Structure 1
């Protein structure tokens, strides 16, 4: 069985592109890639603020599913120009995960993301409490 998850007032934007923000199944939540866009879907231009917003958007999906950052067991981040912006990313990541135990993490460098101004996409798997 699977149950789709959408943050409050966000279902239409996900359905327009044909995917769910997250799927709850087998005691886990599988979160689609979250990016640093505002409520209007516009990319935030400042890298540090974009990364913080991406983690904020991830948090919104997790909360809608009934869990949080402490429940994440695996995280994958996709980075455009990773080395240029890594310290800003690391600061945002430390806000989300300030102390151990840390989740598994895989970082992948990519040429670009779906919107040219985006620098980061975050995909996660969380264990439901």
Structure 2
């Protein structure tokens, strides 16, 4: 028989997962994407207190595209739709993190597209060079955190 003191740490780790309110978890509207994310175990976004945390969106060029701008536009549009579903906008983004498989080769096009969506005052931004992404043909993954405005502020 297991001792209670051995089970207690497991219960403590599981408690935060059960504490999320389902209305504060945003899954994809596309059934195929929702099925994939459910199987893997992640959401498009989660509201926790006054923050909205978005999962990373992978920038993937389509066959025949000669530059990354269309792929970045698709990614930023998807992020914008997720922010809207969570009740915030690009103006509420306080932190942006981007993971680049070729940082020098993608940063300028990202900046050009990003600047269409994000205006001053700017959020914090960290750009990180990495060796690979979950999707083999992905070149950048973009993750954001937004600050919710509470009523009366």
Q: How many residues align?
A: 123
- 5+ unaligned residues in a row in structure 2: which ranges? 1-18
Which residue, out of 27, 37, 43, partners 2:50?
Answer: 27
1:42-81 per-position Cα deviation (integer Å, ceiling 9, x unaligned): x535322111111111112111101111011111011111
Structure-to-structure mapping, 1:1-129, within 5 angstroms: 1-2=19-20, 3-9=24-30, 10-36=33-59, 44-45=62-63, 46=65, 47-97=68-118, 99-129=119-149
Stretches (4+) displaced over 6 A: none
Larger Rg computed on CA atoms? 2
- 5+ unaligned residues in a row in structure 1: which ranges? 38-42
Q: Distance in 2 between matches of 1:16 and 1:49?
A: 29
The alpha carbon displacement at 1:13 in A equals 3.2
SS of residue matched to 1:29: strand
Contact conserved, 1:7 with 1:60, CA < 8 A, in 2?
A: no
Greater RCO, CA 8 A, separation 6+: 1
Pairwise CA RMSD: 1.7
* Bigger helix share: 2
Moved more, 68-77 or 49-58: 49-58
Q: TM-score, normalised by structure 1?
A: 0.85
Q: TM-score, normalised by structure 2?
A: 0.73
SS of residue matched to 2:132: coil
